Amino acid sequence: MQNIRNIAIIAHVDHGKTTLVDKILHSTNVFRENQDTGDLIMDNNDQERERGITIFSKNVSVEYKGVKINVIDTPGHADFGGEVERVLKMADGVILLVDAFEGPMPQTRFVLHKALQLGLKPLVVINKVDKPNCRPDEVHDAVFELFFNLDATEEQLEFPTFYGSSKQGWFNTENVPTEDISPLLDGILEHVPAPEVSEGSLQIQITSLDYSSFLGRIAVGKVARGTIKEGQWVALVKPDRSITKQKVKELFTFEGLGKKKTNEVNAGDICAVVGMDKFQIGDTIADAENPEALANIKIDEPTMNMSFGINNSPFFGKDGKFVTSRHLVERLEAELEKNLALRVEPTDDSNTYLVYGRGIMHLSVLIETMRREGYELTVGQPQVIIKEIDGEKCEPYETLVIDVPQDYASKAIDLVTQRKGDLLIMEAKGESQHLEFDIPSRGLIGLRSQMLTATAGEAVMAHRFSEYKPLKGKIPGRLAGVLISKDQGVSTPYSIDKLQDRGKFFIDPGEEVYTGMIIGEHSRDNDLVVNVVEAKKLNNIRAAGKDDSNAIAPKINMSLEECMEYIQGDECIEVTPNFIRLRKIFLKEEDRKRQQKVLEAK
């Protein structure tokens, strides 16, 4: 048992977790000397590489001085907190990684709180000390204060601190460059305890799922006590305490970036179990004769929902493979098995479902994944979840942190206060201003794009859920109206050129449009129906002037998240494998007017 260490790496997004895991893999000779591995080895999902963030937690195992170290790389974004909460159950210690300039950020606090509650032994790593304007000593004091505020025990407060740079590949306790990261690896062996094992029969809690086209579904978890063997009969205990007897066909432990087949796994190690069925995250694999369940995994509640429905636009079925409501519900049910922070509820319309998640990024990653798999769907405006507490309507509030150059601080404060945010902290941090707000989650929808525009792209924003508080008044939404297509067809340069003074376009000439599709942003606050498919009338007289099509401004490109933040209650997004289109829910203008009268009558 002394030869295993299970450690999770936690940090705020972009503080260097995945780069640190890369260095651990290289320094423990997982790869051949001449092997080209590239950067960010653990971020092997397409979306993770494109977005530059970790979305899914992953296990990797290395050997150092005869000790097996199971390293768990966790997401840093608050929307993927559900991933972090369950994988921390496999760890006996945590490396808290903090940027030497930014210091502890909202997600640092959120994840650290979870780790301290589980009684894990922390090591603090202050990363990026090679950056200009870094302040490692101030950051160390801020981390200690954070530990104290989170009610850390005396033992947890005596955390060892390492300074260094993941990028340059060195860490030690003195903030002086060294050859490699071996001081940090020695610190893991010294300070992280070996797994505690209690006497008794077999217990493994399934904390993540894997899939192989050859082996099928695979259950992953830490052996809490006992020993599991290949070919053994075990009991699968559900959260409702129902029990089924099943047989273990194959067993694997983690080795390097892959898995290694084994005959048995002892308590304290992390293993992958093959051959069982109908298991879910949170279930317990227990002894067949004396099954004892472990405590259920508690995951924080979702704070936002969106409607997911089939694509019912005129372009339905042109682009995707999976287009029916049966395809949609099967895919959502499959996602529920591994995405614990997600919830799905049916609505009155059999073709539409309400999907609950942690935030816009949490939901957008799911939509983007489905889009790449060949699904066509329509998603509505994100809505926060309103709860009734002690007879009063309450909404979720978040702690918002903004670091912005001092010249733009007043603009940032103005934008947030317009959205019912209250300024809590304002202090200088190097050459920038550090602002902290308490803001309703509703106020965050659409704030990022406005903030980046107002601060010339200089603002760094982060937020995390804090608590439910009484509902605040109306929050101003989008200031401008939209341009809506009048007819179906192909947009022409002639029409778009003549309409440029009406607003900015989301389409280029030559793109297919349909009635009710949103094709641009109006320069005023009302919606305007325009004809962009009208062609230039031709006659047999040559025009004196040249065609003006080369004067057309380029279209505005919006990402899926930006579209989700942009739309209003009467609008939705059509998502297909190759296109993201904005549209009105009611495509015909007379239907929209009729609906408006119904709403006004209410």
203-287 CATH fold: Elongation Factor Tu (Ef-tu); domain 3 (2.40.30)
Statement: 387-470 belongs to CATH 3.30.70.240:
yes
- Compute the distance between CA of residue 208 and CA of residue 196 in angstroms, rounded to an integer: 21
Residue 29: pLDDT band by 50, 70, 90 thresholds? low
**What's the mean pLDDT when you consider all of the chain?**
84
Q: What's the per-residue H, E or C state across 247-293? A: ECCEEEEEEECEEEEECEEECCCEEEEECCCCCCCCCEEEECCCCCC
Neighbours of 40 (CB within 10 A): 15
- Compute the distance between CA of residue 62 and CA of residue 553 in angstroms, rounded to an integer: 54
Q: Residue 81 annotated as binding?
A: no
Q: Answer yes or no: is pLDDT of 186 > 80.
A: yes
The boundaries of every CATH 3.30.70.240 domain in the chain are 387-470
Do the beta carbons of residue 358 and residue 340 sit within 8 Å? no
Q: Which residues of 67-90 are buried (b: 16+ CB within 10 A; e: fewer)?
A: bbbbbbbbbbbbbbbbbbbbbbbb
- Compute the distance between CA of residue 444 and CA of residue 400 in angstroms, rounded to an integer: 9
More confident residue, 504 or 195: 504
Q: Say whether pTM exceeds 0.75.
A: yes
Q: Residue 266 annotated as binding?
A: no
Where would I find the beta strands (DSSP E) of 358-447? Answer: 377-380, 383-384, 387-389, 392-405, 422-429, 432-440
Residue 309: pLDDT band by 50, 70, 90 thresholds? very high
Q: Answer yes or no: is pLDDT of 288 > 80.
A: yes
Q: What is the pLDDT at residue 33? A: 46
Q: Residue 227 annotated as binding?
A: no
The boundaries of every CATH 2.40.50.250 domain in the chain are 482-569+581-601
CATH of region 482-569+581-601, choose from 2.40.50.250, 3.30.70.1290, 3.40.50.720, 3.90.79.10:
2.40.50.250
Q: Residue 130 annotated as binding?
A: yes
What radius of gyration do the chain's Cα atoms show? 27
Q: Answer yes or no: is pLDDT of 501 > 70.
A: yes
> Tens digit of pLDDT for each residue in 526-574?
999 999 998 887 777 766 555 554 578 889 999 898 899 899 889 999 9
Q: Residue 588 annotated as binding?
A: no
Contacts 24+ apart (CB under 8 A), 318-324: 318/576, 319/376, 319/576, 319/577, 319/578, 319/579, 320/374, 320/375, 320/376, 320/576, 320/577, 321/374, 321/375, 321/577, 322/373, 322/374, 322/375, 322/376, 323/375, 323/376
DSSP tag of 325: H
> Tens digit of pLDDT for each residue in 581-596?
999 999 998 988 898 8
Superfamily designation of domain 4-191: P-loop containing nucleotide triphosphate hydrolases (3.40.50.300)
Q: What is the pLDDT at residue 242? A: 87
Q: Residue 19 annotated as binding?
A: yes
> Tens digit of pLDDT for each residue in 474-497?
887 778 899 999 999 999 988 998
The boundaries of every CATH 3.40.50.300 domain in the chain are 4-191
Residue 58: pLDDT band by 50, 70, 90 thresholds? low
Q: Residue 128 annotated as binding?
A: yes
Query: Residue 68: in which H helix or E strand, if any?
Result: strand 67-73
Residue 75: pLDDT band by 50, 70, 90 thresholds? confident
Q: Answer yes or no: is pLDDT of 40 > 50.
A: no
Q: Residue 362 annotated as binding?
A: no
Q: Answer yes or no: is pLDDT of 57 > 50.
A: yes
Question: Smallest Cα–Cα separation from 248: which of 303, 299, 302, 288?
Answer: 288
The two counts, helices (H) then strands (E), for the chain are: 15, 35
For residues 499-520, give the mean pLDDT: 93
Q: Residue 164 annotated as binding?
A: no
Q: Answer yes or no: is pLDDT of 82 > 80.
A: no
The boundaries of every CATH 2.40.30.10 domain in the chain are 203-287
For residues 104-117, give the mean pLDDT: 79
Q: Residue 321 annotated as binding?
A: no
Q: Answer yes or no: is pLDDT of 43 > 50.
A: no
> Tens digit of pLDDT for each residue in 370-405?
999 999 999 999 999 998 888 899 999 988 888 888
Residue 41: pLDDT band by 50, 70, 90 thresholds? very low
- Compute the distance between CA of residue 465 and CA of residue 78 in angstroms, rounded to an integer: 8
